[in-house]
Structure 1
Amino acid sequence: MLNDIHPKLPMRNKAITKDYYINQLGFKELGDEDYEAYLMVKKDNIEIHFFLFKDLNPKENYGQVYIRPDNIDQLYQELLDKNIAIHPNGKLEIKPWGQKEFALLDPDTNLLTFGQSIL
Structure 2
Amino acid sequence: MAEKDQIQIHLFLFKELDPKENYGQVYFRTDDIEGVYQSFSENKGIIHPNGSLQKKPWGQIEFSILDPDNNLLTFGQAY
Q: TM-score, normalised by structure 2?
A: 0.86
- CA shift at 1:94, angstroms? 0.4
Q: Percent identity?
A: 62
- SS of 1:52's partner is coil
Q: Which has the larger radius of gyration?
A: 1
What SS does the corresponding residue of 2:12 show, helix, strand or coil?
strand
Moved over 3 A (4+): none
2:55 is the counterpart of 1:55:
no
Query: Normalising by structure 1, what TM-score?
Result: 0.60
CA separation in 1, counterparts of 2:6 and 2:22?
Answer: 25
Q: Which runs of 5+ in 1 are unaligned?
A: 1-39
Letter in 1 for 2:8: E
Give 1:72's match in structure 2, choosing from 29, 33, 54. Answer: 33
Q: CA RMSD for the aligned pairs?
A: 1.4
CA deviations over 1:18-75 (Å, ceiling 9, x no partner): xxxxxxxxxxxxxxxxxxxxxx333235332222211211111122111012211121
Q: Which has the higher contact order (CA 8 A, sep 6+)?
A: 2
Structure 1 residues 113 and 78, CA gap change in structure 2 (3 angstroms): same
Q: Secondary structure at the match of 1:56?
A: coil
The number of residue pairs the alignment matches comes to: 79
Determine if the alignment matches structure 1 residue 116 to structure 2 residue 67.
no
Q: For residue 81 of structure 1, what is the amino acid of its counterpart? A: E
